[in-house]
Amino acid sequence: MNDMYAVLDTYYADILTVERDSLLTAETYRLAVIEFFNWCKKEQIDYKNINVKDLLHYLVWRKTSVNELTIAKDISALRSFGSYLCRLGIWTENYALLLQRPRAKRSLPRVLSVAQIDELLAAIDTSKPVGVRDRALFELIYSSGLRISEASNLLLQKVHLKDHLLWVHGKGDKERLVPFGLQAEKYLHLWLNGSRQKLVKNKNVPWLFVNYKGEQLSRKGIWKKFRILEDKTGIDAKVHTLRHSFATHLLAGGADLRTVQELLGHSDLSTTQIYTHIDNEQLRDYYKEYFPSHSEDK
């Protein structure tokens, strides 16, 4: 086994010169193979005669001291190293290709209760035109599950107030038709019939939401306005939390997953399924808030 580290040196050079990987990748893989070689020495296993069972035992041992992200990097390194050993004729087969990388765990989205949403929106001062705009803006983001960029880019002509419908231009240049609720309709009406005109004056501005100069309200501008609400109410959230809350409240109220997928503009159903993983007890609480007349505590 004395030739292990000589092979490691030539492998390292191969990554840089033949595979043309980055220096960071080469160093990461080199360190991973060193860990593997150290284990082989400890277990008195010749790396030339390794098999899938041995590799699995090694990964089980590694899992006792490192996280899944490191395990995934180790597997990538072993696959690369195995490919190199096959080219040298040391391995007849790249056994590391049979190893499955662990999937990165997706954290559950932050979601607000209906009461918290109400508290946030009620904290907006609507005595001035920008306040009416902010109330209409955040009511709409929550009511229709909009992304911050979708709200910023929403065109006036895409809003059908009487029908409570929006044509939203989303990711991938895709458009979708989404409804909005009565509260959003109420403040949109106030915004479109007076407050907005005070800001745009006699300019022809195509966007629904504008800043104090009468120009398109940017994503940064929306973010700043929401930060003020956070500070004012003490509620920990982001603009995107309104979208997460919209999806969760719909599912809690009985909406099917496909419908929520369409409303959110997700191309893949698996992206929408993250909302079904929120704790069942939390979903029951949302249901009681959203549909109090149907809860068990009548």
Which member of 243, 244, 249, 286 is catalytic?
243
Which member of 29, 187, 275, 287 is catalytic?
275
Q: Write 133-138 long-range contacts (CB < 8 A, 24+).
A: 133/191, 133/195, 133/196, 133/199, 133/209, 133/210, 133/217, 134/225, 135/187, 135/190, 136/184, 136/187, 136/188, 136/190, 136/191, 136/209, 137/209, 137/217, 137/222, 137/225, 138/226, 138/229, 138/239, 138/242
Q: Which of 167, 165, 169 minimizes the C-alpha distance to 179?
A: 165
How far apart, in whole angstroms, are the C-alpha atoms of residue 239 and residue 231? Answer: 13
With contact defined as beta carbons under 8 Å apart, do 70 and 26 qualify?
no
Which member of 169, 240, 288, 290 is catalytic?
240
Q: Is 160 one of the annotated active-site residues of the chain?
A: no
Residue keyed to tokens 């990097």: 73
Element (DSSP H or E) covering residue 153: none
Which member of 48, 87, 128, 171 is catalytic?
171
In terms of residues, how long is the chain?
Answer: 298
Which member of 147, 196, 244, 249 is catalytic?
147
* Phi, psi (rounded to 5 degrees) for 34: -60, -45
Q: Is 275 one of the annotated active-site residues of the chain?
A: yes
Q: Is 220 one of the annotated active-site residues of the chain?
A: no
The residue type found at 18 is: V
Q: Is 171 one of the annotated active-site residues of the chain?
A: yes
What is the number of other CB atoms lying within 10 angstroms of the CB of residue 60? Answer: 9
Which member of 58, 249, 266, 286 is catalytic?
266
Q: Is 243 one of the annotated active-site residues of the chain?
A: yes
The residue type found at 7 is: V
Catalytic center residues: 147, 171, 240, 243, 266, 275
